[in-house]
Chain A
Amino acid sequence: MARKLTINDYKTNVWVDWCPGCGNFGILSAMYQAFADLQLDPEKTVVVSGIGCSGKTSHFINVSGVHTLHGRSLPYAEGIKLANPDLTVVVNVGDGDLLGIGAAHFVALGRRNVDLVVIMHNNTVYGLTKGQASPTLARGLHPKALPKPNLQDAVNPIGLAIASGYTFIARGYAARVQHLKELIKKAIQHKGSAFIDVLQPCVTYDNIHTYDYYNKRVYDLQEEGWDPIVKSLEEFPQKAAQALIKSYEGDGRIPIGIFLVNPHVPTFEERYAQRLPNYLKVPPAKEPIEVDGKTVITMRRFKELFGKYIIEFKQ
């Protein structure tokens, strides 16, 4: 493919049916720009999405898209990536999808460090089902769409990501598209599980966390000199603790940027490669299993493999 791809090449003709003004427009814009900057091959790139407004993202990007079940994007994404590690896999999920019904899978992915990117569209509500509190809405808050104030506390996504083992942890904001674009690029280039919590105003159901609200509060960690990189395994607990404390910052300040990067953890693919010498060279998706309709496990190979089960009789 000789021609350079532009952001227009990454758009589909599907009508973007998010509410006018939705924070998702910004996230989509950042994805288009990041994909174009990195010149991702559309055929080798897969966007996996869940259920919710963010779930529609895969239909708006002209790369392969897998619009999965509620809370299950990560297992789908892991299946895709582990069967063919040559694919670039980016997951777009909502906060409810990822940290409510999908929380078990979120934690499990952190333990594996599979090389993919998880972008969480964090709008504090379950938009498509009429605006119920999601796992990231703080207790006591009462967005107008809710009948009563929220009874449940918010989970700390950055903290949960740290404890689960994500090796690239960042936060972005839908109305700071340049900054978000760079985060997405770095996340894609990072080797391991990358998590980006993206603040996404919901213009229909959340009258609290508006663009104005975030504009007044977000600030760039890196601009304030925050160094997210873990220099050695020994340094990890201290760096992790600092990042955790930072993630609880209050006083009307919301840090965006990269919280933590840990390059010292082998990816899940690398761990498989330790036991499966051929895994990265010829992944499962590419494995030849037949020649002219005949199995590659010939009788000779079968006897070699399963010798200990076999008794052969002399005729």
Chain B
Amino acid sequence: MNELRYILGGPQGGGLETLSELLSWAYAHAGYGVISDREYFSNIKGRHSYIHATVSATELPRHLTYPVDVVAAMDAETVFTHFDDLRDGGYIIYNSDDDNVSFTSIPSMERDLRERLTSEFKELGVDGTVKSVVKYLQSNRKVRAVGLSFKELLMEIEKREGIVPSQASRYISTILAGAVAAITGINEEDLDYSLKRRFVREDLYRHNRAMANIVIEAVKGQFGSELKLDKSSVKVPGVLVASGNDIIAMAKTVAGVRFQAYYPITPAADESFTLEEYEALSGEGSIVVFQTEDELAAINAAIGAALTGARSSVATSGPGFDLMVEGLGWAGQNEVPVVVTYYQRGGPSTGQPTRGGQSDLLSSVFASHGEYPRIVLASGDHEETFYDAIDAFNYAETYQVPVIHLVDKFLANTIATIPLPNLDGIRIVRGNLAPKGLSGYKRFDLSSVISPRAFLGDYVMWYSGDEHDEYGHIDEDPINRIRMFDKRMKKLDMIEKEIPEERRYSYFGSERPDIVMVGWGFVKGAALKAIEELNGEGIKASYYHIRMFIPFPRESITKIAREVGVDKLVAVEHNYQAQASRLVAMNTGITIGKSVVKYTGRPIYVHELVNAIKNIMRGSVREVMSYGA
């Protein structure tokens, strides 16, 4: 087999992260491509959390789909929540001590799910205990049940090796890691690599090595390694195994960011933590990572730093961005190059703090009163994100505008293997910088649209949120107003002319499609895989991937609409209104009348997208997807 899909589930805080890392690093070390998504509640300890991953022997996967081959459960709640996600003939690994636990006795399960399960179990003739669900899977779905007594295993290790009590949940992670390693035939060497990587302490490594061995022996003995992947044919000299947050942090160090202000918010702040880890650039530099009291302070501090010439950014999410809106306007008015890395989560308001979405597009494009130029770009996968993050700063400084880099929780929290970036091709462009030795420096010199930029400390200059003259002083004269306003807004013309159309979009799939999916951001992974599957069914699909919203890829989308016909276009987005399609209409006059959307906070999966597209082709104009716990 060349693709493996699994779900790892358990209570938050219980060891899921460790388990996920043990497996992903083992697979990555073996040369497989991995993408691993984390779904979790806005809760610290106890609620249900799960990892959903795709491992491939032939590619670096960007897609997630159902059903999965393996469900590995740390607790009973996982069994109840995910039993239906398993394919026929798949594997369920669980704690046999939980056999008699009933789904009605799980306080952390939300009422909605409990009610749905009540009717579902009644229909299936299942009494609602773990045992009965497993039995149902075995007899009706040919599922292999790997029941392990966690108690016995834990007591065994306590006896043989001992347990470090303050690290006790690690051992639970290892039980499941061993079981999954066994049935998927992970090599000894690869598992040892990830065990050593995770358990740096000698005693922890020894204990967990022993635990893994016990489990592997028992499981392999009984079940073999039926799900062993083919040898990997992925040919890359090296990979980065990192989350979207980490990738962007790395990109920022390369881009020359030396000041980042932030306020902790999910799912953005992990980027700032990673940046902080490398803040001293191994002793060769300084990135000031500044935790502020709120987002108002963050954006304004970042702008302040940018005025001194430091490449400067903030990383935030919806609620935080809303607070930054006033600051954004100041940056636009004062032609300050600052980048907002905007991680979208479920909205509106507090919304779904730990779930994803793509519902902040219109907000990013329009936010802040008044009118001023900005650039908005969006990334579709981890690889794009790395280069986009760097481009963002080059654009910001070239055009002296605020830039919003849209990503999302799906990207932030999925760990993926991506090819090592090529840093040789990267340019750092600082734009029109003022020369030394000038007298009477004018920051807003009207002799060019992009005035020569000096930094605070080079010359005396002024900035003001008020309308200002060339020196930066307040000026209410109507003619000056026109000249200054035109100067700023003409940047949009320059941006339109200078940033090539090809940079603003990508097109994948058939040149003569039966259907064209129009999307952006995390839709990319699912869409590309969907094209393959639809192709297999004789449907020629393609995907138009929007990568920049200001400037907008007007020409290419217009051309495609004209060539294939508007009725073959369908918007695919993680939001209710198909926001990108509204921008298509606003920029081109083309109305995309069909939409395939998902706004549950979970990512679009390939199987539901394929289904939805087929429905659209049968005449539906709107499909709302909802798969996934």
Contact = CB atoms under 8 A, between A and B. Distances in A.
A273 interface: no
B44 A147 contact: no
A108 interface: no
Interface in B20-78: 42-47
A126 interface: yes
A249 interface: no
Interface string A125-163: 011111011010000000000011000100000000000
Contacts of A18: 44
A31 interface: no
B596 to A, nearest CB: 32
A50 B70 CA distance: 40
Nearest to A101: B294
B319 A19 contact: no
A106 to B, nearest CB: 12
A126 B349 CA distance: 19
Given A71-B294, A130-B269, A148-B276, A101 B263 contact: yes
B266 interface: yes
B108 A69 contact: no
Nearest to A103: B293
Residue from the set B264, B319, B350 with the largest chain A CB neighbour count within 10 Å: B264
Interface in B282-325: 291, 293-295, 319
A240 B408 CA distance: 50
A129 B264 contact: yes
Given A20-B45, A100-B294, A129-B266, A15 B108 contact: yes
Given A17-B47, A128-B42, A129-B265, A70 B319 contact: yes
A100 B262 CA distance: 13
Interface in B592-623: none
A51 interface: yes
Contacts of A128: 42, 44, 266
Contacts of A174: none
B269 A129 contact: yes
A51 to B, nearest CB: 7
A147 B273 contact: yes
A130 B264 contact: yes
Interface in B73-104: none
A129 B294 CA distance: 13
A147 B45 contact: no
A147 B44 CA distance: 18
A101 B276 CA distance: 22
Interface in A176-218: 204
Residues of A contacting B: mostly: loop
B276 A147 contact: yes
Interface string A47-64: 000010100000000000
A19 B44 contact: yes
A270 to B, nearest CB: 32
Interface residues of B, number: 24
Contact of B277 (A70, A133, A147): A147
Interface in A1-60: 15, 17-20, 51, 53
B440 interface: no
Given A69-B319, A69-B349, A15 B107 contact: yes
A13 B533 CA distance: 46
B13 interface: yes
Contacts of A130: 264, 269, 273
B266 A204 contact: no
B108 A17 contact: yes
Interface in A63-81: 67, 69-71
A221 B349 CA distance: 42
Nearest to A15: B107
B405 to A, nearest CB: 21
B532 to A, nearest CB: 38
Interface string A84-96: 0000000000000
Contacts of B291: 132-133, 152
B276 A100 contact: no
Nearest to B42: A128
Contacts of A103: 293
Contacts of A100: 293-294
Contact of B45 (A19, A101, A135): A19
Contacts of B293: 100-101, 103, 135
Contact of B264 (A126, A147, A148, A204): A126
Contacts of A19: 13, 44-46
Contacts of B42: 128
A52 B284 CA distance: 37
B45 A204 contact: yes
Interface in B119-143: none
A273 B265 CA distance: 42
Nearest to B46: A17
Interface in B464-518: none
A289 to B, nearest CB: 29
Contact of A204 (B44, B295, B349): B44
Contacts of B350: 51, 67, 69
Interface string B254-285: 00000000011110010001001100000000
Residue from the set A67, A103, A128 with the largest chain B CB neighbour count within 10 Å: A128
A204 B169 CA distance: 14
A281 B266 CA distance: 46
A127 B263 CA distance: 13
Interface of B: 13, 42-47, 107-108, 263-266, 269, 273, 276-277, 291, 293-295, 319, 349-350
27 contacts: A15-B107, A15-B108, A17-B43, A17-B46, A17-B47, A19-B13, A19-B44, A20-B46, A69-B319, A69-B350, A100-B294, A101-B263, A101-B294, A101-B295, A103-B293, A126-B264, A127-B44, A128-B42, A129-B264, A129-B269, A130-B273, A132-B291, A135-B293, A147-B276, A152-B291, A204-B13, A204-B44
Given A69-B349, A147-B273, A147-B276, 8 more contacts: A17-B108, A18-B44, A19-B13, A19-B45, A70-B319, A71-B294, A152-B291, A204-B13
Interface of A: 15, 17-20, 51, 53, 67, 69-71, 100-101, 103, 126-130, 132-133, 135, 147-148, 152, 204
Q: Which 7 A-B pairs have the closest CB atoms?
A: A101-B294, A129-B264, A100-B293, A19-B45, A17-B43, A15-B107, A132-B264
